[in-house]
Amino acid sequence: MSPKIRVGIVGGAGYTAGELLRILLFHPYVSITHIQSSSNNGAKITSVHKDLIGETEAIFSDIEMDHVDLLFLCMGHGRSKAYVEETTIPQRVKIIDLSHDYRLKKEGNDFIYGLPELNKDLIVQAQHIANPGCFATGIQLALLPLAKAQLIKDDVHIQAITGSTGAGQAPSRTSHYSWRNNNLSVYKAFSHQHLGEINQSIQQLQSDFKNKIHFIPLRGNHTRGIFVSAYTSYEGTLEEAKEIYSNYYNDHPFVHVVDENPDLKQVVNTNKAILYLEVHDGKLMIISCTDNLLKGASGQAVQNMNLMYHLDEFTGLHLKPSVF
């Protein structure tokens, strides 16, 4: 058996770090050496992630780079870039960043966009990965097969609802229980920050795509999961669409194209993505279901780690859905 991957987690107190811990504590090829949290240094991990009582006695501590092979950056947007620029990170240390900081390709940015269903071959060879956004993951999985087939010929209309964990652990008015419960609201209509990476990926596969992606995000009153419904003009049959999607995802084990209209609980607590298609009057509707904290964040980050270290993609990710 190969030596275990020595992992450090920066920003260890948030939701995505907690999900990483729940996966990596039981990953057969990982040893978690350091979990850093500037606000919890010296405290037990279980003082923050209370569901891990009995699973770990680790404490929050500073990262010692000599004892790390891979860094997961689980900080807020803007903070990852600052950390990388201010910290001496040896070239041999791989990085998977879960923030928005490195997702858009710019000069000097050597991070590979970490959507395995788009860039698997590049991820296998990568040193630095920019993990996709949660909304972006679900939306791109709904659209990539069409883009690959050069079939997005019109504007795309999307409505997607996310659970409260998508807003992060820091409390706010719109994540407070008494506001969120039995409530629903639109936010960042047509201007969500994930639109940049979505357009970037569509144009990677369909370079002539110049149409608009009209995206209406909603805050849901559930805790986790993203439910996307998208539609665009389409001239083919449902059977042809299913073939396009099934062929595209044939080598991507976490994505399932199904024949029955899905519900969100089928993917919650898993790294799965479920896609469902319907054709209506020259429109193709695509439903995409994912867990925002797993396939939309930490599960996908572990999937990327597995690819970077030439492990089976499923390693550590045989997770149980909660349907009740």
Positions annotated as catalytic residues are 134
> Which parts of the chain fold into alpha helices (H)?
15-24, 79-86, 116-125, 134-148, 177-180, 195-205, 238-248, 298-308
Long-range contacts of 188-191 (CB under 8 A, 24+ apart): 188/217, 189/215, 189/216, 189/217, 190/214, 190/215, 190/216
3-class SS shares of the chain: helix, strand, coil, % to 5:
30, 20, 50
CA angle 139, 231, 121 (to 5 degrees): 35
Q: Enter the tokens of residue 176.
A: 């407070």
Q: Using an 8 Å Cβ cutoff, are 204 and 150 in contact?
A: no
